[in-house]
Amino acid sequence: MPQTLRCGRFELQLSRPLVMGIVNTTPDSFSDGGRYLAADAAIRHARRLLDEGADLLDIGGESTRPGSAAVSEAEELGRVLPVLEALRGCGRPLSVDTRHAAVMRGVLSAGADMINDVAGFRAPGALEAVAGGTAGLCVMHMLGEPSTMQQAPVYRDVVAEVAAFLRDRVSALLACGVARERIVLDPGIGFGKNLEHNLSLLRGLSGLAGLGLPLLLGVSRKSMVGQITGRGVGERMAGSVAAALASVHRGAAIVRVHDVAETKDALAVWQAIEG
């Protein structure tokens, strides 16, 4: 498996787990929707995550929580670009969470180092938008669309089906000339999966690692943590940190989190114990 990830201006070393901090510039994200909708609030939040030790940031301008509605590409760009431009000199890679080709082109032109696509680069024009250049590409699995994905999702073998999807999307990227060193995979916890599907994927991460590419996991504050603990969205930090540790233990190279400082501390203690 590659020990580095080419990520725009950066080459990320994967010899230790990396922490990606979440910056949502949306009014309706499931955890912090509306808190950082204003660009100056999002920029302050991003700088706080960097101070806490985030290895990279993921900036999103469209909520993809279950049941969410799409926004126009112009509105999404209007939310994301001011934040991206203000943080360009922060010294850490900047990822943009988008599934729209026009947004991908816009943020790459503005200097984004990674595109994190919950739709796995399936939208018309998405492959062409990212084929050139050196930006990192996170390929995620999602069953259906955000507005409907949690309506009774069904799999025969969730690990095998997610692996097959990711393998197919990697093949599509490679066929467009994308270097393998640019690609990271995300099984899409909570994106068209129920609790048992999510747990099966986390338990079966070694099978996904067999695809030969680094894994990125996002479990932070998600409904599976609430289902297990009975906690509301604002009370899921401890459960989210536990999920991040379990993900790293099973092979995740990057964890995408809201609580950067707490996750970094937990990883430091875990790594010291593991040696």
Tens of pLDDT along 175-203? 999 999 999 999 999 999 999 999 999 99
269 SS3 class: helix
H helix intervals, the chain: 39-51, 73-87, 101-109, 126-131, 158-175, 195-203, 205-209, 223-229, 237-249, 260-274
Q: What is d(CA 114, CA 10) in angstroms, rounded to the nearest whole number?
A: 10
Give Cα separations from 35 to 24, 31, 32, 60, 169 (angstroms): 8, 9, 6, 13, 34
- For the CA atoms of 166, 208, 53, 241, what is the dihedral angle to 10 degrees? 120
Instruction: 227-233: list long-range contacts, CB under 8 Å, 24+ apart.
Output: 227/195, 228/195, 233/30, 233/31
pTM: 0.93
pLDDT (average), residues 82-99: 97
- The tens digit of pLDDT for each residue in 220-235 reads 999 999 999 999 999 9
What is the set of active-site residues?
Answer: 222, 256
- The tens digit of pLDDT for each residue in 126-170 reads 999 999 999 999 999 998 777 665 777 889 999 999 999 999 999
Q: How many CB atoms lie within 10 A of CB 39?
A: 18
* pLDDT of the residue at 3: 85
In this predicted structure, the answer to whether residue 31 has a pLDDT above a threshold of 90 is no
Q: What is d(CA 143, CA 158) in angstroms, rounded to the nearest whole number?
A: 11
Closest CA to 3 of 127, 224, 184: 184
Q: What is d(CA 228, CA 195) in angstroms, rounded to the nearest whole number?
A: 9
pLDDT band, very low/low/confident/very high, at 67 (cuts 50, 70, 90):
low
